[in-house]
Amino acid sequence: MLQEDFVPVAFDQWYHRRKQDTDGEFYRRIATQGPRSDFGQTTQGFYIASAGGELIHYNNNRGPQRIRGLMQNTLGLDNYWIAKPITDDAIDRQFDRSIPDGAIVVQVNAKVLGGYADPVNEYEQFMQAAIGCDNMWIMPVEARQLVGGSFTESLVQRIARFHLIDNTRGEPPMWRADEVTRAEISLNDDGTLHGRITLSIADGSRSYDAWLFGKLEVTEGRLTRFDIVVRGEFTGEGRWTRGAPDDPFPFAVAFRLADENDIAFSVCPQACKGHHPEYLRLASDE
């Protein structure tokens, strides 16, 4: 039903609440008709709307039966669906998170490997089994250095600070530069990577002590494999990632080159929300 009778679209509404452009204005036009019309607060949820911008249904309950019911109710309507396509002629550069020219997109997935108590309901069971998803960007100069056999420090820091995060239960906190207590990644001549990374906030209540192993391959001057696994002990949780296992718990993160046909290929790294300039920082900037 979702694929055939609707046009499904997914995005982080944090940007759309702020963007002063066509995209943001159209979102706010729809959302303001719902119960969450204060754009200084979250407006997250499921919206069913016409292409003309009329809100048909809103719900923030992720139960599949509830969502299916709203969709079925919508299909009984037939007087909303005539509208003109909107021309997207304005882009708010402040919140533009398009893939930088020439950057390589890496798919990043994280998982808690154990330690949870038995789930008390279906939702908790789902959350405990979740694989966190994100993208990482490798800048062109960093890719050239990888091809030349060097794992640049800016990439080491980007992995440590912005991708060794427990995003399996919601939006996680990133690591500040002074919370990286150790970050070493060595690239051998045969393309294998070995590393050791330890991260901790000042009081030690959130930390990650991990080992890294990976394999890179270069074909005809292009990076064709970027497979990495980081595994170690994690402690703590963030404000929006409550419900972690008791400390410490095993936690792993995997990296691989993203498929440009994947639906999430163009999604910007989560860290770009609050750390955009830092995220893009190169060794040459320091």
**Closest distance to another protein from the beta carbon of 156 (Å):** 17
- Residue 66, both tokens: 């509830």
The token pair that represents 170 in the structure block: 């919601």
Question: Does residue number 131 form part of the binding site for another protein (CB under 8 A)?
Answer: yes
Residue 155 lies near another protein (rule: CB under 8 A): no
229 forms beta bridges with 213, 254
The answer to the question of residue 242 lying near another protein (CB under 8 A) is no
Residues 250-269 that bind another protein (CB under 8 A): 250, 252-254, 256, 262-264, 266-268
Q: Longest C-alpha distance within the chain, in Å?
A: 65
Q: Which stretch binds another protein (CB under 8 A): 143-151, 153-161, 216-224, 225-233?
A: 225-233
Q: Toward another protein, which CB reaches closer, 131 or 177?
A: 131
Give the residue, chosen from 147, 233, 238, 276, that forms a contact with another protein under the rule CB under 8 A.
233
Q: Residue 51: exposed, middle, or buried by beta-carbon count in 10 A (0-12, 13-18, 19+)?
A: middle
CA distances for 177 relative to 1, 164, 201, 252, 283, angstroms: 46, 13, 10, 21, 14
CB-based contact 95:19 (threshold 8 Å):
yes
3 state DSSP class of 227: strand
- Pick between residue 56 and residue 218 the one whose CB is nearest to another protein: 56
For residue 80, count other CB atoms closer than 10 A to its CB: 14
| 10 near another protein, rule: CB under 8 A | yes
- Residue 173 sits in the site that holds another protein (CB under 8 A): no
- Restricting to residues 31-70, which ones interact with another protein according to CB under 8 A? 31, 42-52, 56
Residue 57: Cβ within 10 Å count = 16
Give least dist CB 46 to another protein, A. Answer: 6
> What minimum distance in Å lies between the beta carbon of 105 and another protein?
12
Footprint on residues 87-106 left by another protein (CB under 8 A): 88
Nearer CB in complex with another protein: 144/256: 256
- Residue 76 CB burial class (10 angstroms; 0-12, 13-18, ≥19): exposed
What CA dihedral angle connects 120, 64, 129 and 259, to 10 degrees?
-170
In the DSSP assignment, the letter for residue 278 is: H
Least spacing, CB of residue 197 vs another protein, in Å:
12
According to CB under 8 A, which one of 92, 124, 153, 171 is a site residue for another protein?
Answer: 171
Bond before 248 cis per omega within 30 degrees: yes
Burial of 50 (0-12, 13-18, 19+ CB in 10 A): middle
The one among 110, 160, 183, 223 contacting another protein by CB under 8 A: 110
Tell me if 197 contacts another protein by CB under 8 A: no
Stretch that binds another protein, among 137-145, 154-162, 199-207, 231-239 (CB under 8 A): 231-239
Q: Of 38 and 148, which CB lies nearer to another protein in the complex structure?
A: 38
Q: Residues in contact with another protein, total (CB under 8 A)?
A: 83
Query: Should residue 76 be labelled a site residue for another protein when binding is judged by CB under 8 A?
Result: no
